[in-house]
A and B are shown apart, each in its own frame.
Chain A
Amino acid sequence: MEKDTKAFQRVYTKLFQLTKATVSLNASGIGNDELAIVDGRLAQVVKIMGDVVTLQVFAGTEGIPTNAEVVFTGKAPTLKVSDDLAGRFFNAYGEPLDGSEIIGEEREIGGPSVNPVRRKQPSELIATGIAGIDLNNTLVTGQKIPFFADPDQPYNQVMAMVALRAQADKIILGGVGLTNDDYLYFKQVFDNAGALDRIVGFINTTEDPPVERLLVPDMALTAAEYFAVDKKEKVLVLLTDLTLYADALSIVSNRMDQIPSKDSMPGSLYSDLARLYEKAVQFPDGGSITIVAVTTLSGGDITHAIPDNTGYITEGQLFLRKDSDVGKVIVDPFRSLSRLKQLVIGKKTREDHPQVMNSAVRLFADAANAKTKLENGFDLTDYDERTLEFAKGYSEKLLAIDVNIDVDTMLETAYALFEKHFTPAEVGIRQEFVDKYWKKN
């Protein structure tokens, strides 16, 4: 990689310690977090002890000799921001993938946090048309939410669909260990939708060195802050897959001999992830950053440190699962949650939305119990049978990810299912709503 070397930059050529991810040398006047170029590779200061400086080399240290040239740049990693970003794709260092130049103001990535009192409470519903989201787990501008999905599930497809329907001014894609196929898929979907000029991509693919990935989310979020703060735009950031980001963190901390905590993850995993996700924000002047991310699970285990810490940080999570009864992928209503939904449901949507949502999920849970009974060879009651019928309709007409209808239609569809299978007492919604919306026949 070419980097211009300026006159005042200090050059060193004596490394005395190398690990797989780090190098150490004697140097003075070096700032914490500062960037350097080690043997042509980008590196960052992670520890200073007296005159010993330890650098993390993003692309790994393979083949670096002890007499390699180390040039300190005197600054933390930066991204050049301007409207010029729109419609373009970059690598993890913020350099255009097509080799062209970008003109803009240079900003440090991973910058400071927004003062909480300068935030506005999110209140704008994001309509995706997917009832598993809009009805049960309504998304709100300024929210941060991941998909928790097994690697074989179509999370990138659903994410692209959500992004295109979300009516964002900019969509910023942070590809963290993205397969090349998925990268091309995103490009193609956005292109087909005529949305390419609203996209900015920072892409690290599976072919790139894993430690480089650590820069991608900060790059994406720095670009997002430029559009949301400077331009007051509605920005949607897609980060896929942050499990690979956490894996890269553990590689680095492991090689720096830090004491690992649960699942070999660094003890600071919570803070590291929170620093990214908390960039999601709604500003009073209309600018906003919404983050939709992906956390892949291994074997559906959500107690693993990565999804576990993520769940404690984000404002809910969306689970995809295949419903074998209807043969479709659905948004699982039990484990999925949007914590911001109560800011909009029943307020920006019809008043009975919260109750309809809860009742339908409760009846779906009854159906799950009935199914367990069936599997255990027990007889079903009449009520059990009806819940099973209901569950099929609910799954097919509302939970499936191929549904695309507005919220009022979702509510009507729910009532139609309630009326077909249950009495108002069994559904248990407030009498005033039954009086108003339950069709008397």
Chain B
Amino acid sequence: MNTIGKVNGIIANLVIVETEGTAAQNEICFIEHDNTRLMAEVIKIMGNKAYAQVFESTRGLKVGAKVEFMGHMLEVDLGPGLLSKNLDGLQNDLDKMEGVFLKRGEYTHALDDHKTYGFVPLAKPGEKVTAGSWLGEVKENWMPHKIMVPFKMEGEYTVKSVAKEGEYHIHDTMAVVTDKEGQEIKITMTQRWPVKVPIRAYKEKPRPFKIMETGIRVMDTLNPIAEGGTGFIPGPFGSGKTVLQHNLSKNAEADLVVIAACGERANEVVEIFTEFPELDDPRTGRKLMERTTIIANTSNMPVAAREASVYTAMTIAEYYRAMGLKVLLLADSTSRWAQALREMSNRMEELPGPDGFPMDLPAIISNFYSRAGFVYLNNGETGSITFIGTVSPAGGNLKEPVTESTKKAARCFYALSQARADSKRYPAIDPIDSYSKYLEYPEIAEYLNDKIASHWTENVFNAKTILLRGREAHEQINILGDDGVPLDYHLRYWKSELIDFVILQQDAFDKIDASTPLKRQHYMLEKVLEICDMEFKFENFEKVNPYFKRVINQLKQMNYSEYESEQFKKNEKELETIIQERKTA
């Protein structure tokens, strides 16, 4: 028998329930209202009073409304059929909902009960299995989707039988296993899992040692993110967080991408599900939408479900990681999730931490980031979740609780600069403030030098130094005036501009420039560094600016052309001519 209760207080979406029996922290309950049932989550218990955040509008709700406690935390369905879906933060399938407007109390299934999947068995009778072991495989879109021993099953089991190759529904029995006592357990294609609990069906989580190619030069070349790594993108509004994340979701070298649109604009989600079904995945030639799942809790959707949305997304990512896939998880914006926590904490009159955020915000954020990672599964295969979140600092000031907490949790920092965005230097990632801790990992350096070129990391640090010296020179020029500094300062500055314009800046909306494969990044960096190494003769400083603009122009035209095409080579030749005009050594 489920515990029942009655509503006794209502403040916006916080409801206080008098319970008749036991209730648990984070337990899900349903509130009866107007022939619908409103879903809510217990977030505090005081005596016989349970404080619940309602995932819906509470308009019209009255004291005395009946409440039923469900005996479990917020759970999602895991199984084939999650890919290409548009889900809300509670995993309802938005496409299955009727009408133009979201109706409260309407919950729809993420998985398709009537669809069949072609199953191929992987395990054999007699095999010993544990949670996460692969029993068979179906094709989801084109992706191999493993049917696993449910993560909730503790201990070791023995496979008794596995279904034969064929077409099955998701609720059909795909395998029967027996536990130590010989009890039989039927396993289907689906299982449920509580989103706030990490899925730990793997053997080991080593330090990441490979990089994830994103096609974005300022990331891959300057501050690469590891496969299974974590990163975050703080930036004031309009600095390019969302465009950067969309670009990552299009071009990053991942098997699949889970996007949590958390408390941001609905039109940005519309953009994804309008464009992705048309766009090709450059690696597989399939449509991008086939490898993408969207979890949308936009800013006008219920605030409490915002927090749920990032956990739902993470859980889906963990599910696919357990199949040995390379998952990219993106959340835009984690600040909205933190704000949702703040709203509830304020309503419960908890003692506030800095800026009114809950005291345990840093712990919540670091626990979440720690769910990403590269893992060795129990069968020796590998899987990964690379997680990149955006942060929207109030007033663009990075000294605020969400940014500071995230900085402690994430290993890559891609700081978007207002000044760069204002001058349309996109992506506006500040090349000097940003960092990737992974560059300091010897195993990553080794990987890069092995994969790209033996002196690659040396080149990268070289480029960073040129950028830094360029900035210093520019500051001096601004203080002392163009003719108040030696000519060499102008050269230094313009060499850094060369790197800025050709390597850092990248047009996200240009067919060709939007994504640059590592090989091409290597070629262009070599080319630019070669020029930076040269000595040039100039009669006076006035000649430096127009000359470098011509150099930059040729290199930019190369960025806009197909790699190694006629046009590309033509510009390269012209570049050579321009260089010969003034090169002395």
A: which residues have CB within 8 A of B? 28-34, 46-51, 76, 108, 111-122, 142, 229, 258-262, 267-268, 270-271, 274-275, 278-279, 281, 283, 303-305, 308, 311-313, 315-317, 334-335, 337, 339-340, 342, 354, 358, 361-362, 365, 372-373, 376-379, 381-383, 425-426, 428, 430-431
Using A32-B61, A313-B299, A379-B482 as known contacts, say yes or no to A47 and B549 having CB atoms under 8 A apart.
no
B residues less than 8 Å from A382 (CB atoms): 542
Chain B residue nearest to A110 in the complex (CB):
B59
Residues of chain A within 8 A of B21, CB atoms compared: none
Contact A116 B545 (CB under 8 A): no
Residue in A50, A281, A303, A365 whose CB lies within 8 Å of B63: A50
Considering the chains assembled together, what is the distance between the CA atoms of A380 and B96 in angstroms? Answer: 64
What residues of B have a CB within 8 angstroms of the CB of A313 in the complex? 265, 299
Among B238, B275, B397, B545, point to the contact of A383 (Cβ < 8 A).
B545
By the criterion CB–CB under 8 Å, are A32 and B101 in contact?
no
Q: How far is the CA of A273 from the CA of B61 in the complex (A)?
A: 23
- Contact A116:B101 (CB < 8 A) given known A267-B339, A315-B265: no
Residue numbers in B under 8 Å from A308 (CB-CB): 237, 394-396
User: Shortest Cβ distance from B512 into chain A, in angstroms?
Assistant: 11
Q: How far is the CB of A360 from chain B (nearest CB, A)?
A: 10
A270 and B560 within 8 A (CB): no
Which listed residue (A108, A275, A311, A431) contacts B238, Cβ 8 A? Answer: A311
Tally inter-chain residue pairs, CB-CB below 8 A. 198
Contacts of B237 in A (CB 8 A): 308, 311-312
B549:A115 contact, CB within 8 angstroms: no
Question: A49 vs B40: C-alpha distance in the bound complex, in angstroms?
Answer: 18
**CB-based contact B9/A268 at 8 Å:** no
Residues of A within 8 A of B300 (CB): 113, 274-275, 278-279
Minimum C-beta distance from B471 to chain A (A) = 15
18 A-B pairs within 8 Å (CB atoms) are namely: A29-B64, A32-B62, A33-B58, A47-B9, A47-B11, A49-B8, A108-B59, A113-B266, A113-B298, A115-B101, A121-B267, A262-B355, A268-B303, A281-B266, A335-B422, A372-B478, A382-B542, A430-B557
Chain A contacts for B60, CB-based, 8 A: 31-34, 76
A364–B342 alpha-carbon span in the complex (Å): 42
Complex interface bits, B499-510 against A, C-beta within 8 A gives 1, otherwise 0? 000000000010
Whether, in the assembled complex, B483 has its beta carbon less than 8 Å from a beta carbon of chain A, the answer is yes
Shortest distance between the CB of B486 and any CB in chain A (Å) = 16
Contact residues, B155-171 vs A (CB, 8 A): none
Q: Does B94 contact A (CB under 8 A)?
A: yes
User: Are A115 and B97 in contact (CB-based, < 8 A)?
Assistant: yes
Q: In the bound complex, do residue A379 and residue B355 qualify as a contact, i.e. CB atoms below 8 Å apart? A: no
Docked CA distance A354–B560 (Å) = 14
The reply to whether B270 and A365 contact each other, CB–CB distance below 8 Å, is: no
Docked complex: B383-399 residues within 8 A CB-CB of A:
392, 394-397
Q: Are B394 and A271 in contact (CB under 8 A)?
A: no
Q: Does B179 touch A at the CB level, under 8 Å?
A: no
- The answer to whether A114 and B9 have CB atoms under 8 Å apart is no
A377 to B484, CA, bound (A): 12
Q: A47 to chain B: which residues have CB within 8 Å?
A: 9-11
The answer to whether B61 touches A271 (Cβ under 8 A) is: no
Tell me whether B274 is interfacial, beta carbon within 8 Å. yes
User: Whose C-beta in chain A lies nearest to the C-beta of B299?
Assistant: A274
- With contacts A278-B299, A365-B423 taken as known, whether A425 is within 8 angstroms of B553 at the C-beta atoms is yes
Nearest B residue (CB) for A365: B423
Q: What residues of B have a CB within 8 angstroms of the CB of A372 in the complex?
A: 478
